[in-house]
Amino acid sequence: MLEGIDEIYATKGKKVVHLVLKGAEPSKDEITTLLIGPSGNLRAPTARKGRTLLVGFDEETYRRFVK
């Protein structure tokens, strides 16, 4: 699922977590925590722009990437 993704921006509460995948090896648990919600489904909204994955909603983050 993360093939072609270099970075993830994930909203956790009011905080935005930035995870760089290119050249790094984050654990499967770390990635799963960012992508999967408490119901076991992919957190929404989830959007991809180029090589960046946006997970959850943060207005400022979306403004930067949806230009």
Residues 6+ apart with CB under 8 A from 33: none
pTM of the model: 0.87
Residue type present at position 25? E
Looking at residue 25, what is its pLDDT? Answer: 83
What are the residues facing 42 on neighbouring strands?
36
Q: What is the mean pLDDT of each run of 10 residues along the chain (67 residues)?
A: 90 93 88 92 94 95 88
Looking at residue 10, what is its pLDDT? Answer: 97
Give the CA angle between residues 58, 66, 19 to the nearest 5°. 55
Rounded to whole angstroms, the Cα distance separating 48 from 29 reads 21
* Strand-pair category, 46-49 with 7-12: unpaired
